[in-house]
Structure 1
Amino acid sequence: MSSTFDDRLSSPDEIAANLAGHDDRLRDILADPALPDRDKRQAIQEALDELQRERGDEPAAAYETLEQRFFDALSLLAEGGHDYEEFSRADKP
């Protein structure tokens, strides 16, 4: 029985071909020290939307909440992460 659905995993070469040019664009966005985080987020979202349109997919609006959590986590890491000692000190009498 043949199927029209191809469920095989993409090879690294196929992935690279599909992202041609976009990875450089993302690196440039992330490496730009003059670009504020909010503008970086917007530029990354625009790049993602453009990539999805090129592939014939709908932009990632359904994933905006997850994407926001991802960027919040990146921002938290950029700021040095959590200070767990502060929380443990507050728990002690």
Structure 2
Amino acid sequence: MTSPAARAFDALCGAYQRRISPRKRFSCAHRLAHGGDSCSGAVRDLVRRRGVLGGAVPSAVRFLACYRAASLLMATDVRGVCCCGPIPIPFRF
């Protein structure tokens, strides 16, 4: 059984993923650099499995990794990523 806070977070994160994320003009840097889930998907999964308090530290670690991925992508002047299977391949225009 999940807590009311975890259910509320899950509902808010789902609304973000359905309504806001598709309309913003950028993607999760961690997903672009490393593949896999976006931060919203990864954090949503963490909270589902561990609860709000149990997922707080791993979520913060994920956001830090995303920040580092964004720095990495900006330093390489990457303009996009082409996914070839599970491996993201950066390219420039």
The normalised TM-score by structure 1 is 0.29
Larger Rg: 1
The normalised TM-score by structure 2 is 0.29
**Structure (1/2) with the larger strand percentage:** 2
